[in-house]
Homo-oligomer: A and B are copies of this chain.
Amino acid sequence: VTGHPPERRNSHVSNGPGCHSHGSRPTLEQAFKCLTDAGLKLTKPRCALMTAIAQFEQPFSAEELFAAAAARSGAAKAVRCDLVTVYRSLLTFTALKLVSKVDLGDGVGRYELSNFDGSHHHHVICSLCRRVEALKDCSMQRQEKVISGMGYTDVSHRLEFIGLCPSCQDSPSPTR
């Protein structure tokens, strides 16, 4: 399957033209520009959180980000930042498509830095340690074989499609 339509949620939030790089992770400068371009303030908590986010190599939870931001010292001075602010910032960053929500099925919301080109990938999750690997290739059909080839055993998958159903296209009904 080639080219998945980028998600349109919160399409009123525009990515500034300067925000997009070439499929790799955004730099801090780009991320900050994205914020200001959207008319948002560049506050200390947001800077600290964005800086911390850029360091993660795995999807992270709000709690983990909170801890990482609090622990930050040296380069960026540790900014006092409430956990509530973490949640609110993640919401903001997600709306701006700076980060994407990752559902690993354990009921806790996780996030990762987005690729600005809108490309998405899938994950392999170890059923024991819950460590996550990102997959480059999005050809779903061969994936399980690929994953077995990576040394995983007991490979299964979880796949859901999300779309706007015909009746909701006609008459939007409230989300249940």
**Interfacial chain B residues near A168, Cβ < 8 Å:** 3-4, 126-129
Among A21-29, A40-48, A80-88, A141-149, the one that faces the other chain is A141-149
- In the complex, A124 Cα to B2 Cα: how many Å? 19
A39 interface hit (Cβ, 8 Å): no
A70 interface hit (Cβ, 8 Å): no
A167 interface hit (Cβ, 8 Å): yes
A104 interface hit (Cβ, 8 Å): yes
With contacts A1-B171, A3-B173, A129-B176 taken as known, whether A156 is within 8 angstroms of B163 at the C-beta atoms is yes
Contact with B along A109-128 (1 / 0, CB 8 A): 10000000000001111111
Contact with B along A153-176 (1 / 0, CB 8 A): 111111111111111111111111
A161 near B103 with CB under 8 A, answer no
A129 near B165 with CB under 8 A, answer yes
**Interfacial chain B residues near A150, Cβ < 8 Å:** 166
A159 near B122 with CB under 8 A, answer yes
Q: Interface of A with B (CB < 8 Å)?
A: 1-5, 7-9, 103-105, 107, 109, 122-131, 133, 135, 139-141, 143-144, 147-148, 150-176
